[in-house]
Structure 1
Amino acid sequence: MSRKLPPLLGLRVFECVARHLSFTRAADELCVTQAAVSHQIKALEEWMGGPLFQRLSRTIKLTELGESLVAPIGQALDIMADATDRALDRDQNVPLTVGVFDSFSSAWIIPRLARFRERFPTIDVRFIAKRQEDDALSSGDADIEIRFGNGSWPNFQVERLLTESVLPVCSPALIERHGAPGSLADAPRFPLLHDVFSIDWSEFLQFFGVRGMNVHRGFGFSHSHLVKQACIDGQGIALGRWPLVAEDLESGALVRPFPEVLALDSAYYIVCRKAVSDEGNIKAFAYWLLDEAELFVSQHGASPT
């Protein structure tokens, strides 16, 4: 029977806020920003059709609606945690092997691994670097993969993780040296960096009507995290991939010299063999990835604006 459920991440955040009666302490426990906690509570309140907390001058308290939810949700989360622990006890000594692009692992997964360890302390994970053409699942080298493409792998269990957009990015120092560009047509007067895995500058500029420019000079790299590092170091303007550069833009390590954004048809997917998709470690890692993706989108957006 189909269940009508609110977002599970929002329920987890709500239970944490209700337990502490503090957005700040909940954010500390969940290792996210207070703004991310507020976003999840607002989304849950919209889904429930009413406020869950009464905001007072220096504190918060549960509304009648919130009071009616807090105990059952806490019990449900305890049941899920106990069930997960029991399921994982069977194979807790067998490391989970994950095939993933090294750039995605470096820029997106590794900064989030502390939350995985906190949530699943008994699961050991081994990451192996994969190329676009690799099939580590069929070869038996990986239990689960993160793939990039159109999601059409009919013999596997497939779940979309994140969409992809590309946008020009550079270091603030590069703008200081060369001056601020006026429009995208100015791009070729700057040093350009090339990511051979992503779309090239010619395709990007042509999409926005800029043609007849020599954009093939400059440094090129076969891995996106190397492109990003060269970009941060001030070597040129790169076509950044949104999931890999969003946090660098937020921190100020990178800036956007042009407003143009190109959304790609391809996306990141979680892929595993159908026969093992219900195994405890695989489900735990996949659900954690999906929760992290939902949190990323709530903080940064599915694509840049």
Structure 2
Amino acid sequence: MSQFRRLLPSANSLVVFEAAGRHENFTRAAEELGMSQAAVSYAVRALEEQLGVTLFQRMHRSARLTEAGERFHADVVAGLSRIERSAEDIRAKGREVNVTLAASTAFASMWMLPRLARLREDLPDIDLRIQTSVRDLDLEEEAIPLGIRGGDPKDWPRYHAALLAPEIITAVASPAFIEQNGPAESPADLTRHRLIWLEEPVRQACNWPEWFASSGIDYAPKGRRLAINDYVLVIQAVLAGEGIALGWNHLIEGQVRSGQLVQVGRHALVTGEAFYVVWPRSRELNASAARVRDWLLAEGEGFGRDR
């Protein structure tokens, strides 16, 4: 690039040269650029001196490109056109109001859905699109600006990550189930109740033996069990009184607050991992995506710093 600056100290001369070559007339180029004809002529002359070659054949009312001028003009047009397209693309991205968020079905339905009215009220000019998947999408490959991921940001070196919620897991049931089957004050009491299992097809999720182990109990399931591969359906089964399930606190907080679900016992597993808003390091968020990110973090009261 230092060689470029030595050859062409003024990039503006390229803009003048492109217009002059396109019109083959210094006066019309001057009118287009809002300059005087003398200024155009001076810029072209300076460019010719810098390159050490004649670019135009001057005539009475026109200026034709020389052979060298035609070759150089074609390259200048290609370069300036590419810069123009890039600038327009950047400008368009800055104006985008459509923001896509990649998330699990559980997060979309249990965390986002109850907050959509507030999102529309707080960010009325932004059109949020939620893309769900059974696996964590590659945001770079899919050209998605934002995602929600659970785990440890050290495992995602290509992403920025900001804390949304810590991973805290409790046992939950419906009030009707507790009324019918009696309370369970300790984790040991839970082993005598019907337990509903989440079997994630792709993402790793805590299971009952791991949860019991965190309370000091070596638990092995006996007999048949109800296992569901979708967390939304797990919670639907709990609400229907089918048994007790593990509850991720950031997802079930609304149902616990409303009394639809109740915590069973007092044990809570704090895994040390968390859920994060993530976005690729390879490209900068546009203004709309940054506003959605900040809104998500404010809703989650996440105080994690960008990793």
Q: TM-score range by the shorter chain?
A: 0.5 to 0.7
Change (3 A) 1:182 1:289: closer
Partner of 1:159: 162
Q: Which runs of 5+ in 2 are unaligned?
A: 1-90
**What RMSD in Å do the two structures reach over aligned CA positions?**
2.3
Give the deviation of 1:221 after TM superposition.
Answer: 1.6
Q: Which has the larger radius of gyration?
A: 2
1:234 has 2:241 as partner: yes
Q: What do residues 156-205 of structure 1 show as CA deviations (whole Å, max 9, x unaligned)? A: 22212111110010001111211222432121221101112421111111
Give runs of ≥4 in structure 1 deviating > 3 Å: 87-90, 275-278
Contact 1:201 1:215 in 2 (8 A): no
Q: How does 1:47-196 map to 2 (within 5 A)?
A: 90-92=94-96, 95-132=98-135, 134-152=136-154, 153-196=156-199
AA aligned opposite 1:175 = I
Contact 2:184 2:190 in 1 (8 A): yes
Give the deviation of 1:275 after TM superposition.
Answer: 4.2
Q: Which runs of 5+ in 1 are unaligned?
A: 1-86, 298-305
AA aligned opposite 1:104 = F
CA distance in structure 2 between the aligned counterparts of 1:241 and 1:212, rounded to whole angstroms: 20
SS in 1 for 2:113: helix
Partner of 2:252: 245
SS in 1 for 2:266: coil
Give the deviation of 1:268 after TM superposition.
Answer: 0.9
TM-score scaled by length of structure 2: 0.62
Contact 1:188 1:215 in 2 (8 A): no
Q: How does 1:242-281 map to 2 (within 5 A)?
A: 242-281=249-288
AA aligned opposite 2:175 = P
CA distance in structure 1 between the aligned counterparts of 2:174 and 2:184, rounded to whole angstroms: 13
Identity percentage of aligned residues: 31
The one of 207, 211, 224 equivalent to 2:218 is: 211
Contact 2:93 2:286 in 1 (8 A): no
AA aligned opposite 2:144 = A
Q: What do residues 185-229 of structure 1 show as CA deviations (whole Å, max 9, x unaligned)? A: 121221101112421111111221222543574221222221111
Give the deviation of 1:137 after TM superposition.
Answer: 0.7
CA distance in structure 2 between the aligned counterparts of 1:177 and 1:166, rounded to whole angstroms: 24
AA aligned opposite 2:95 = D
The number of residue pairs the alignment matches comes to 208
CA distance in structure 2 between the aligned counterparts of 1:122 and 1:240, rounded to whole angstroms: 34
SS in 2 for 1:138: helix
Give the deviation of 1:88 after TM superposition.
Answer: 9.8
